[in-house]
Amino acid sequence: MAGNKDFDLYRPSEEHDELRKVVRSLAEAKIAPFAAEVDEASRFPQEARDALTAADLHAVHVPEEYGGAGADALATVIVIEEVARVCASSSLIPAVNKLGSLPVMLSGSEELKKRYLASLAKGEAMFSYALSEPDAGSDAAGMKTRAVRDGDFWVLNGVKRWITNAGVSDYYTVMAVTDPEKRSKGISAFVVEKSDEGVSFGAPEKKLGIKGSPTREVYLDNVRIPADRMIGAEGTGFATAMKTLDHTRITIAAQALGIAQGALDYAKGYVQERKQFGKPIGDFQGIQFMLADMAMKLEAARQLTYAAAAKSERLDDDLTFHGAAAKCFASDVAMEITTDAVQLLGGYGYTRDYPLERMMRDAKITQIYEGTNQVQRIVMARNLP
CB 184 within 8 Å of CB 141: yes
- Contact partners, residue 221, CB within 8 Å, separation at least 6: 157, 198, 199, 200
Q: For residues 101 and 258, what is the distance between their CA atoms, to the nearest angstrom?
A: 22
Radius of gyration of the chain (CA): 21
Q: Report the distance separating Cα 379 and Cα 241, nearest Å.
A: 14
* In contact, 99 and 129? CB cutoff 8 Å: yes
Q: How far apart are CA 298 and CA 304, in angstroms?
A: 10
163-185 burial, b for 16+ CB within 10 Å, e for fewer? bbbbbbbebbbbbbbbeeeeebe
Q: Is 370 a catalytic residue?
A: yes
Please, what is the angle between helix 88-107 and helix 32-41, to 10°?
Answer: 90
Which one from 82, 133, 217, 370 is the annotated catalytic residue? 370
Cα–Cα distance for residue pair 86/23, rounded to 1 Å: 11
Task: Give the phi and the psi of residue 89 in degrees, each rounded to 5.
Answer: -60, -45
DSSP classification of residue 29 = I
- HSE-up of 290 (CA within 13 Å, CB side)? 22
Q: Shortest CA distance to 168 belongs to which of 38, 45, 37?
A: 45
Q: Which distant-in-sequence residues (6+ apart) come within 8 Å of 45 by Cβ?
A: 31, 34, 35, 38, 87, 89, 90, 93, 212, 213
Catalytic positions, please? 370
